[in-house]
Structure 1
């Protein structure tokens, strides 16, 4: 008697994919890495490439007809495919290359499931597109955002395409920000998963439309499914007209930060 193959739903495919990538990232941590120059100070490593290969292996086995866009390997399949996976095999490459463990492995299906793995804590944050959970030690817990930590992650990695319209330094120096929040800079989109999980109150980054970015798509999906307030840094809805991200655990935190970014509310 032949056993029937196990058919995974999209969320479990995403979880399996990021776990495969995270295993590579953990295994190669602290080893001598080969750097692959991308120009303008950016680079990948052989760990990025190997992790992406492991992730693609999982997706291809489970969803052979789907298109995939990987940070390192580029587009495979139609870019406008309804079922398109975005893959960021190692978000925080510079952190990783210098021996810091603040990195993430990101996988997202367009308008659907997504997962973010923290290779070193063992946590996997994931969503089916409607609800978000964290899987740790074999159990799943639903994500509940909260501003209780008062920690706000601000992405300070260049470029800053919206400058001078938004300068992160101005937000950090705002008296209302200093009174209520404490900044953090982890330089990886793992911070977005932390907003969904209540480990951060908010996340702010400059940029253009990030909804289909291999770096941001999974984190955005997690935060939306968890019930966070997710807009552009200017408060506009996400999309082609949007700029960057302002993701907050709740409407109150979002409103406070938005007023500071817009240059109002000096007495807040």
Structure 2
């Protein structure tokens, strides 16, 4: 029997995670990228492992990898988005806060995706309908919750909406500090944690996140889990100003948008 898309996403993410674990703590070559970013031998090896799994099962699908770019068929209508090591800077200084992201875009279907936490041996996944976490072979349904009050802010550049929004400025908003406690994880593992109820919310600036190898899996997981997802201006994802606000529920989402809107009001 052929493997389903969701099981393939899980297998591919797990293969990448195994490589990330195996390279942890050893000397890694660095390969400079634009904007002061860099990849390591672990990024490249993990991406190769993920693509090998996908190619073996779906040889006619397209693949967009963070390190290798676009490969494979362009006319199949199916494209795998691969982020082999989200949190490379963390990883390079021996922090275990990283994620391995794999998502499938297939026309108008809701994305199938998996995001692996290599060091907790967890794979968060969605079949496009619901979202789960797999650990030790068992699947548990993801249920968002704002109870923690923890909100992750992405403080890394670029800042395409810097004139009206900076995640760092939320820290000075009294409404935010009265309700939430900020965290800076510096990896999209934080997005999956909103779906899992381990974070109340996540906020980042950015543009063109629809086809982002970094965010596609996390967004798919959050939408399938029932989180509230929008751009930083409250409009549907991938429209308007862009960016991303993910919240466990509507009240949390409204509170985060209010903190963002206060920045715009101060500059008007």
Instruction: Output the TM-score relative to the length of structure 2.
Output: 0.94
1:209 Cα deviation after fit:
2.4
Long gaps (5+) in structure 2: none
Q: Within 2, Cα distance between the matches of 1:237 and 1:127?
A: 20
Q: 1:13 aligns with which of 3, 8, 14?
A: 8
Distance in 2 separating the partners of 1:83 and 1:242: 27
Q: CA contact under 8 A between 1:209 and 1:241: conserved in structure 2?
A: no
Post-superposition offset of 1:82: 1.8
Residue in 1 that maps onto 2:89: 94
**1:44-193 pair list within 5 angstroms:** 44-78=39-73, 81-110=76-105, 111-193=110-192
Counterparts of 2:201 and 2:241, CA distance in 1: 18
Residue 237 of structure 1: how far off its partner (Å): 0.8
- The CA distance in 1 between the partners of 2:75 and 2:34, in whole Å, is 27
Map of 1:229-268 to 2, 5 A cutoff? 229-263=228-262
Q: Secondary structure at the match of 1:26?
A: helix
What is the match of residue 211 of structure 1? Answer: 210
Q: What is the CA-CA distance between 1:112 and the residue it aligns to?
A: 2.2
Change (3 A) 1:147 1:79: farther
Note the aligned Cα RMSD (angstroms): 1.4
Distance 1:192 1:79, change over 3 A: farther
Q: Provide the secondary structure at the position in 2 that maps to 1:90.
A: strand
Instruction: Tell whether the 8 Å contact from 1:155 to 1:185 is kept in structure 2 after alignment.
Output: yes
SS at match of 1:263: helix
Contact in 1 for aligned 2:104/2:112 (Cα 8 Å): yes
Tell which deviates more after alignment, 104-113 or 123-132: 104-113
Gaps of 5+ in 1: 1-5
Find the residue that maps to 2:178 and give its secondary structure: helix
Give distance in 2, aligned partners of 1:240 and 1:77: 28
**1:3 equivalent in structure 2:** none
Q: Contact conserved, 2:233 with 2:240, CA < 8 A, in 1?
A: no
1:22 aligns with 2:17: yes
Distance 1:220 1:242 in 2: 17
